[in-house]
Amino acid sequence: MKTWPYASRPALAWVAVTIFAMLAFWGALTPPLSGTIRTAAVQGGVVTQITDRDLYGQVIDQVAAGHPYYESVARLHRANGYPLQPAVTVRLPTLALIAAALGPIPTFILYLALIAGCIVAWSVRLRQLIPPSQRRELAPAVVLVAFLATASPVIVYFHEAWAGILIALGLALWRPTRIWPSVIALFGAALFREMAVCAMLVVLVMALFERRWKESVIWMVAIILFAGVMALHIHEVQQVVRADDMTSPGWHGLGGWPLVVSAATAMSFLIVVPRVIGAIAVSAMLLGWASWRHPLAYRVMGIVLGYAVAIAVFSRRDTLYWALLFAPLLSVGLLFLPIRTLALGLRGRSARTNPETQL
């Protein structure tokens, strides 16, 4: 497993540590940001409080009772003060249809099965890629902690949770010579949450950059097919929208890196640690992925950075759960943090052995 040769390039080591320190300091200075409560006035002038998860649960209950999905969504959005415009404010029906058909307990079991599959897939993949001398024995434990943090019945109704697990599974299954399992997993992720198409775009860009033309064509076809699914979804939403329905306030939170830290810590095992430790850990995870030189790591890093930028620029304080799309993957980055080579590089010393394999 190769990391960037920090030990043989002191300047590179100093740059890496400086960026890490700046991100950790910036993230730690800002107090925790949270807030998933929305308020809605109901009949009689009584004001109720509702979360996005509550709304998703109500939609599932309506579908389970036999009501059409889009009509149920429109009615519940209006009743709870949620926007219906633009059409992307309405989630794709995948999760609601599955949960309504299976019921709460089987749905949670299915979700846990996906997490278990993801843990196994990543443990096997990392065992194949990491040499025995390079923390390979720690890989299953790190992966277990990273993904079990999302194994909660509270999270199961968030579309981003399902999409995030499928994105991670798709990356674990990605092979240059066998991409169909990855395509199926990432396409499935997009069916749960359309934002997962960003992961498909990153993998497509990487395939083009590496001149994997056959793989590029397959990803293009998958993205075009999903565009057709989204077009049908938007059409269905427009059929139930009225002129007086609420419009979204937009996605321009501009919360910056502190909001990324808040989201990543709130949606991972770091939720139990103080803010300062969380900011340091998130920065270290990012540095870990950035340090591993492997095609799989480049794809993970591109996806993580893409969603981090989306949260920093567009997310509001009530949409921190967007981080479920990448938080489990980000946490695995701790495994690749090149502590020894960074230390040697900062002291201007070269590793006695191959500096590119020292963690």
Report whether 204 contacts 183 (CB < 8 A).
no
Closest to 17 (Cα-Cα) out of 25, 126, 96, 296 = 25
Q: Please give the Cα distance from 6 to 100 (Å, whole number).
A: 52
Report whether 293 contacts 4 (CB < 8 A).
yes
| pLDDT of 345 | 61
Report whether 75 contacts 90 (CB < 8 A).
no
Q: What is the pLDDT of residues 182-226, one digit of tens each?
A: 999 999 999 999 999 999 999 999 999 999 999 999 999 999 999
Chain centroid offset of residue 295 CA: 19
Q: Please give the Cα distance from 328 to 323 (Å, whole number).
A: 9
What kind and span of H or E run contains 95? helix 94-102
Paired tokens of 252? 């321009």
pLDDT band at residue 346 using 50, 70 and 90 as cut-offs: low
Q: Please give the Cα distance from 74 to 83 (Å, whole number).
A: 9
Q: What is the pLDDT of residues 33-85, one digit of tens each?
A: 554 445 444 444 444 568 899 999 999 999 999 999 999 999 999 999 999 99
pLDDT band at residue 329 using 50, 70 and 90 as cut-offs: very high
Mean of pLDDT over the chain: 87
Q: Please give the Cα distance from 277 to 88 (Å, whole number).
A: 35
| pLDDT of 136 | 78
Cβ neighbours around 275 below 10 Å, total: 18
Mean pLDDT of 1-28: 76
- Radius of gyration from C-alpha coordinates of the chain: 21
pLDDT band at residue 130 using 50, 70 and 90 as cut-offs: confident
| pLDDT of 46 | 46
| pLDDT of 276 | 92
Q: Using the predicted structure, report yes or no on whether residue 357 has a pLDDT greater than 50.
A: no
Burial of 55 (0-12, 13-18, 19+ CB in 10 A): buried
Q: Please give the Cα distance from 233 to 46 (Å, whole number).
A: 33
Cβ neighbours around 329 below 10 Å, total: 26
Q: How much is the pTM?
A: 0.90
Helix (H, G, I), strand (E, B) or coil at 32: coil
| pLDDT of 117 | 97
Q: Using the predicted structure, report yes or no on whether residue 10 has a pLDDT greater than 90.
A: no
> Among 48-57, 89-98, 115-124, 272-281, which is the least confidently predicted range?
48-57
Mean pLDDT of 93-109: 97
Q: Please give the Cα distance from 35 to 303 (Å, whole number).
A: 25
68-107 in b/e form (b: 16+ CB < 10 A) is ebbebbbebbbbbbbbbbeeebbbbbbbbebbbeeeeeeb
| Count of residues in the chain | 359
Q: What is the pLDDT of residues 153-172, one digit of tens each?
A: 989 999 999 999 999 999 99
